[in-house]
Chain A
């Protein structure tokens, strides 16, 4: 009886000997390449020092109260970045700011929504080149829109 067990043991090892290195190799060869410089510049939150403020400070949302300034290139009136000047402690977790051509609905982000970055006071977020659009504050954990604002029309509430 013990000999049968030994034979089964041997067969298992003979089977695993080619199989396990193949599993390890497939896992190593197939892994996604990580960008060598880490996150893209937009998500690193590196401020562009050449931008200047355009217009006055805006209240993006009343609740939670978020005040922003828009920045543009010298001599250009179209904002290319937004700075989160003041951010009241939000009630919802994992808040992210998106840019989209429409405001979407209360639970779903528009298909063209572009992630600008996390909601953090003092952070400078790069805006896309589009002339008009909406800034959407979205809670990833609750999967709900906390607020939105059109670039020239500031409102609060979903």
Chain B
């Protein structure tokens, strides 16, 4: 968390994360190259490099797509999400290198402009073996570029989190295009069953995890709540909330987080202003609600970040009656203090 922009706000976790990613990428490329030459001594260095870069980018994309639902299903995976954007930029660089080497190898030696050659190289979409798989790769690379270029917090803050997230949801379009790129490209000449099996496994894993997480989320959004005569909505019993933690509930069509701390109850929007992370899955650290995704902090009674930070989220008026928590479904403006409800002994 920072109150000014800088290229990368380095800290110990980010260094460990990036070192692990860089080591993993180098090891993968070395292992892929060594295995290829051991199994096929006639393999050329150029083709091996193109395949190593392409498969490495594809493996990283699968990992990136699995991190989100894994975190929804089990908070132990949250450390993977912390610096996921660096993983995404690494994946884009590998994909770009794959595309550049493939263009030089397969399209730069003729008398046609290489970029034109990519577009007209295989132009009969009616035949599977002639499907323009390279075009699918080019469009996917364009989407990945857009995402990598806007991955910095500067763009997140200026586009606003909902727009930024909608833009980055294009990763699913890119994933679909890359499945077509590999299926109608590399798999057309690949006789070894290992590659289709691995790709099928990755596809099932990504889709399966997303479906499991989606059904879990839908259950939470489907819960019905009773409204009292004063318009307050009953959320849960005080004892349902652990000290320093929150209960998430759906009120007025959006999620709220009801926190218990220091003998008090406060309620805020569940949506972090930074990247719309689920605040209710975080905890109170140093007296502040701390987002489990990137550590953004808010004071529980005002919804404002501690100075000098300026982020603000909506608060909700809250009451405790007979050991049960009631919340006014009408939110206060972001940063407006709501009196915490005191828990009677």
Contacts and interface: CB of A to CB of B under 8 A. Distances in A.
B203 A31 contact: no
Contacts of A141: 109-111
Contacts of B120: none
A116 B128 CA distance: 28
A28 B221 contact: no
Interface string B168-196: 01001001100110011001110100001
A13 B172 contact: yes
B172 A23 contact: no
Contacts of A5: 162, 165-166, 169, 276
Contacts of B111: 141-142
Interface residues of B, number: 38
B187 A27 contact: yes
A9 B276 CA distance: 14
B285 interface: no
Interface string A32-76: 101000000000000000000000000000000000000000000
A144 B106 CA distance: 21
B45 to A, nearest CB: 20
A153 interface: no
B169 A31 contact: no
A21 B203 contact: yes
A26 interface: yes
Contacts of B308: none
A17 interface: yes
A19 interface: yes
A132 interface: no
Contacts of A27: 128, 131, 180, 183-184, 187-188
Contacts of B200: 21, 24
Contacts of A12: 169, 172
A28 B129 contact: no
B176 A2 contact: no
B214 A24 contact: no
Closest 5 pairs (CB-CB, A-B)? A30-B128, A27-B183, A13-B210, A32-B129, A10-B214
Given A10-B217, A24-B179, A24-B196, 16 more contacts: A1-B162, A2-B162, A2-B271, A5-B162, A5-B166, A12-B169, A20-B203, A23-B176, A24-B200, A27-B180, A27-B183, A28-B187, A29-B128, A31-B128, A31-B129, A34-B191
